[in-house]
């Protein structure tokens, strides 16, 4: 069953290029990734929306996702509220509409 994960970030001013560059080659190391988009949701605020072959594939790639995060962690600002620098959610697709 196809799954998605969404991760919210706040990027430090002037660090957008480093943040985006860290994601340019994720398909090489995130096994099971079908597609990913990074969207700008506000001033210095971004989300990555990634589609996976399955929840198992997503879970198996968590070490690689964390390694990617570690490569650009210094570009991120704490989101507050005890979240740290990311706000991730994930789950299987229950309904797909065109």
Confidence tier at 90 by pLDDT (50, 70, 90)? very high
Confidence tier at 88 by pLDDT (50, 70, 90)? very high
In a domain, 94, yes or no: no
Q: State mean pLDDT over 71-98.
A: 96
Per-residue pLDDT at 79: 97
In a domain, 97, yes or no: no
Rounded CA gap, 60 and 30, in Å?
9
In a domain, 92, yes or no: no
In a domain, 37, yes or no: yes
CB atoms near residue 65 (< 10 Å): 20
Per-residue pLDDT at 42: 96
28: CATH = 3.30.70.100
Q: Number of folded domains in the chain?
A: 1
In a domain, 22, yes or no: yes
In a domain, 84, yes or no: no
Q: Give per-residue pLDDT as tens, 17-63.
A: 999 999 999 988 999 999 999 999 999 999 999 999 999 999 999 99
In a domain, 23, yes or no: yes
Q: State mean pLDDT over 2-28.
A: 95
Which residues constitute the domain of residue 39? 3-79
Find, among 76, 83, 26, 79, the residue nearest to 51 by Cα: 26
Per-residue pLDDT at 28: 87
Per-residue pLDDT at 95: 95
Q: Which two tokens stand for residue 68?
A: 């990617």
End-to-end Cα separation, the chain, in angstroms = 17
């Amino acid at each position: 069953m196809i799954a998605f994960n969404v991760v919210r970030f706040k990027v430090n001013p002037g660090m957008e290029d480093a943040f985006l560059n860290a994601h340019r080659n994720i398909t090489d190391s995130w096994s099971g990734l079908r597609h990913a988009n990074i969207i700008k949701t506000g001033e210095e605020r971004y989300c990555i929306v990634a589609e996976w072959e399955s929840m198992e594939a997503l879970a198996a790639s968590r070490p690689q996702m964390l390694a990617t995060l570690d490569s650009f962690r210094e570009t991120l600002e704490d989101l507050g509220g005890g979240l740290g620098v990311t706000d991730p959610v994930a789950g299987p697709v229950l309904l797909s509409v065109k």
